[in-house]
Structure 1
Amino acid sequence: MSTSTFINLPIRGGGLEPVQALERSDNAWSTRRGSNVPGDSAEVVERKVKGLLNKLTMERFDSISDQIIDWANKSEKEKDGRTLIQVIRLVFEKATDEVAWSEMYARLCRKMMEQISPAVMDEGIRNTEGQPITGGLLFRKYLLNRCQEDFERGWTDQVKTAAAAAEKAQDDEAAKKSNETAQGGEEVSFSDEYYAAQKSKRRGLGLERIMHECIKKLLSNVDNPGEEKIESICKLFTTVGQSLDTSKARSHMDIYFKRMRDLSESPNIDSRMKYMLLDVFELRSRAWVPRNAVAAPTTLASVHEQRRRRQQPGRRMQPA
């Protein structure tokens, strides 16, 4: 062994004894916080991306959004896109909870769709040719799936939560006004039900705005949209069309269906896509009642209720 690897230390008695120098180990323990947690673990992604979303503003949009996309692109090392799915979930939850900033989050989603690495893939999701969907197309697929899942599972829960809390929330509002009058505006504490109802209302409004943004993006090119976009818009309307087709949003829905009508007449799409669009037109004409539900046995009361809904002022029974 080379003498250069030793340090001479004085020893009592006057002699010298060679002592081997300390070397840094590859897995040396460190006092740095979180050093035992892998850099791409789900816990780290959750903490880091949440922190970035809390800092996201229009003034700092470019730098913060670039960092969020960097975290999403860690899915390059994965075969199931789990980190990208996690980042989309965090963005989605933040967007639905902060309705006033929906335009900023829509801008973030568009940038992510354009800049997600083409090396990000999911072997479980394939196109019509049997190839894994990658990059921006995969991001859009994940985002639409998230929207649909939130409507199918979460929307019902939110409505139930809001309905169950409505009476208690009204009592809290009355208590607030009473206390403000009696105590000169002193702060009042509210029940958990009140805050649950308020959060449910915010998320519902945010979710609606996200849906409209998704629809606008999917219908942005009616000349040559691609099968993926047509399938996505048809599935989206089949899932959430009834919830979106309200009197308040009727004018927007009419515009969407006008563009879909133009799309169905385009020579650039095949017959399978045209029939998918026609199915959605027919679904709207039936007040969003599925064909099998119409054919199924029903009560007289249900028949009268469906007729009443069709005769509501402003409801269009034919596709735009």
Structure 2
Amino acid sequence: MKVITCAIDSLNVKQYDRETLLGLRDSSAARSRPINLPDLPDIILKTPVLGNGMGLLGSGGPPPMNVSGPMMAGGMGDKGISCDWRNGNDPFSPGYVKSARPSGNLTKRGSQQGKKEVKNIMIHIPKDVKLRTCDNAWVPIRRGNQTQEEEDLDWVLKRVRSILNKLTPENFNTLQTQMETITIDTEEKLAGVTSLVFEKAILEPNFGEAYSKFCKFLLMLRVPSSTNPDQIVNFRSLLITTCQKEFEKDSENEQKILDKRALLKKAESEEDKKKMLEDLEEEMAMARHRSVGNIKFIGELFKNDMLTEKIMHECLCKLSCSTDVERLECFCSLLSSIGQILDKSDQVDQYFRNVQKLITDKKVSSRIRFMIMDLIDLRRRNWIPRHSNKGPKTLDELHQRALIRPFKKKIFI
């Protein structure tokens, strides 16, 4: 044994050469457990690991006697130590000490989180498995089963629906240019486009002004009739017919609601009554929404010169003579929109006399009475509303409104 003693900072430090250190590693004392070592089962093994454990040479036991020299199995250069650190082998851990590193090949992610056991589950499914089906299951429409005309119709409706979904006062001109590129040359396409525009207009009454301007742009659309090619079908006639059918549908809806109320009274169980009442309220709300939306859209079409004054007087006359809540609400909505244009006629005085009588006799609810009173006050103010238009606005209008708001606050302060 060659020992070199040197003084470092007034301390005697012993340094051993390489052969001496390798000899100490291979000695029996280095491989056996010390006698006074405490019993720590989580750290110390009772017997050295001789298999694929930790320790020198990655086996936890003594190195083979026939392996020597600067290069050993799985070598690490001239250090003479065979150990793969990536597999968790520690060349300086005795065979009786458990390693803190997990064994096995780990990736970078596995080395941080620990090795997870992977379970391979094999599921054998027989070929004759039958899935549950229902009578009204959704079936996709395959293009292979469609004719060329049907594909063209679907494409046109899809494009028009996309334009209507993006329609705002800000991008109206851009979408109008896109609409010009769509070819509408058959009655089926024209009827489909008319139906789409009408449904969007009555379900979104706040955008009625934008939809009416869009209809004015489509006013010149004309196509040959599918039944008689010599006749011409135009967009305006289809739109007026659709609005008229929806306006006349109110009486049908009233009858349906009366029938459902009669069935509701005959219901036996409380559960059936509750379900029928929910359905009735939902149907009444939808009918009211559609009728009010249709009336507002009719008023916007009249202001864009697409409907005549005669049609407006016919609608107002029918609405003012009714005692139905929905019709009176439609009357107030329509007259507040176009009253300034029609006030020159003597017929408007008759409309107000009809509704004034309803207020005096108290034949309607308080909500409708207040709506009629607001309409009377609006006429007294020369049809100038108290509040500005609450419909959609352009970005310039919103910016201008934001600039005016601070001055209004200063005035009130």
TM-score (norm 1): 0.46
* Higher RCO (CA < 8 A, seq sep 6+): 1
More helix by share: 1
- Report which of the two structures shows the higher radius of gyration computed on alpha carbons: 2
